[in-house]
Amino acid sequence: LKSIAVMTSGGDSPGMNAAARAVVRTALHQGAEVWGINNGYKGLLKDDIVKLESRSVGDIIQRGGTFLGTARCSEFTTPEGRQKAFEVLKKRGIEGLVVIGGDGSLTGAKLLNDLGMPVVGLPGTIDNDVWGTDYTIGSDTAANTIVDAINKLRDTASAHRRIIIIEVMGRKSGWLAMTAGIAGGAEQILVPEVRNNLDIVCQELKESYDKGKRYSIVVVAEGYGCAVEIGKKVAEVTGIDTRVSVLGHIQRGGSPSVEDRIKASMLGERAASALIAGISNVLFGFDAGKIVTIDLTNAVNNKKTLDPELARLAKILA
């Protein structure tokens, strides 16, 4: 293909810029022209598309967010919306598209591919919940942001001998909570994939406090439940002074980690090269440190599960 486009869609994640930059520079390196679609599918439907040059993606590798902008778009979920999007691309002479986003965005990408527009997907979400890849762009930075927050919350939890409950993002996935919880040394990690009994959690927290533990950190995945409610129950049952911290969108921002910059760059290069070579309806991801090609249809039709090894490790180390 000689003319491709790139877009970011859904929740932004640190490293999306590195991926888009790699798509642009690879395409130009191979003599193709490359377009940027602003604000995801919403922008596509509005024909909000700009030609990108090498300098358009200068000074962005270190930035979180996405220079293209992103959005969640309900119109694109309808067949009429997708047909309109297809026609916008055709009219522009765009022959293929790289979509960087999470589950919902990749489902949209697959449906656009079904209409006859060659699409390659890249997993971009802090949640790390895309099937077929053990890595998604932004998940490493977000996990590090959470660990940094846990480190800080430990200081104050210890000073007051409190239990601190931290709610983290991840949608239906417990990956962020589990990974950051282990790395942050949390006493309890509550994820939707493992239905811990809250009464037992309270009992364990109380027992360790009675044995002299100064404080406890409990990480709760948003998909498990509401930390404020859990905090109320923990305080009631244990009688221990408890505080709740909902980290929120701070987890989505910040300068991407080295891992996110490198992996996103590798994925962006691969996506542009594949698309230009005529490969489509695939998702590129990582498996055990190596880039893998995943059928896009399989990626969006399957649900990723949390590695049970992580839950086992967390239990032993707590």
- Please list the active-site residues: 127
Which position among 32, 49, 98, 169 is part of the footprint of ligand F6P (CB under 6 A)? Answer: 169
Beta carbon nearer to ligand F6P, 222 or 260: 222
**What's the rounded Cα separation, in Å, for the pair 45 and 50?**
14
Site track 205-234 with ligand F6P (rule: CB under 6 A), x = hit: -----------------x------------
Could you tell me the CA-to-CA distances from 246 to 146, 147, 253, 293 in Å, in that order?
Answer: 11, 14, 15, 36
Q: Has 243 been labeled as part of a binding site?
A: yes
Q: Has 120 been labeled as part of a binding site?
A: no
Could you tell me the CA-to-CA distances from 272 to 40, 54, 150 in Å, in that order?
Answer: 18, 14, 38
**What's the rounded Cα separation, in Å, for the pair 9 and 57?**
17
Smallest separation (angstroms) from ligand F6P to the CB of 311: 19
Is 126 among the residues that bind ligand F6P (CB under 6 A)?
Answer: yes
Task: Kindly provide the residue ranges of all beta strands, DSSP E only, lying in the chain, ordered along the sequence.
Answer: 3-8, 33-37, 49-52, 96-101, 119-123, 163-168, 188-190, 216-221, 242-246, 282-287, 290-295
Q: What angle do CA 1, 115, 20 make, to 5 degrees?
A: 50
The pair of three-digit structure tokens given for residue 16, joined into one six-digit string: 């999306």
Which position among 162, 171, 263, 304 is part of the footprint of ligand F6P (CB under 6 A)? Answer: 171
Sole window of 124-132, 191-199, 276-284, 304-312 interacting with ligand F6P (rule: CB under 6 A): 124-132
Which position among 6, 9, 11, 280 is part of the footprint of ligand F6P (CB under 6 A)? Answer: 11
Q: Has 195 been labeled as part of a binding site?
A: no
SS3 category, 99? strand
SS3 category, 17? helix
Q: Which among 197, 198, 181 is positioned nearest to 317, based on CA atoms?
A: 181
Beta carbon nearer to ligand F6P, 95 or 127: 127
Tell the burial category of 240 from Cβ atoms under 10 Å away from its Cβ (0-12, 13-18, 19+). Answer: middle
Sole window of 42-50, 108-116, 153-161, 168-176 interacting with ligand F6P (rule: CB under 6 A): 168-176
Is 127 among the residues that bind ligand F6P (CB under 6 A)?
Answer: yes
Amino acid at 181: G
Q: Has 212 been labeled as part of a binding site?
A: no
Q: Which among 305, 13, 312 is positioned nearest to 134, based on CA atoms?
A: 305
Total residues contacting ligand F6P by CB under 6 A comes to 11
Q: Has 215 been labeled as part of a binding site?
A: yes
Beta carbon nearer to ligand F6P, 140 or 187: 140
Smallest separation (angstroms) from ligand F6P to the CB of 149: 15
213 beta partners? none
Which position among 107, 125, 128, 265 is part of the footprint of ligand F6P (CB under 6 A)? Answer: 125
Smallest separation (angstroms) from ligand F6P to the CB of 104: 8
Beta carbon nearer to ligand F6P, 72 or 84: 72
Q: Has 170 been labeled as part of a binding site?
A: yes
Is 102 among the residues that bind ligand F6P (CB under 6 A)?
Answer: yes
Residue ranges in contact with ligand F6P by CB under 6 A: 11, 72, 102, 125-127, 169-171, 222, 252
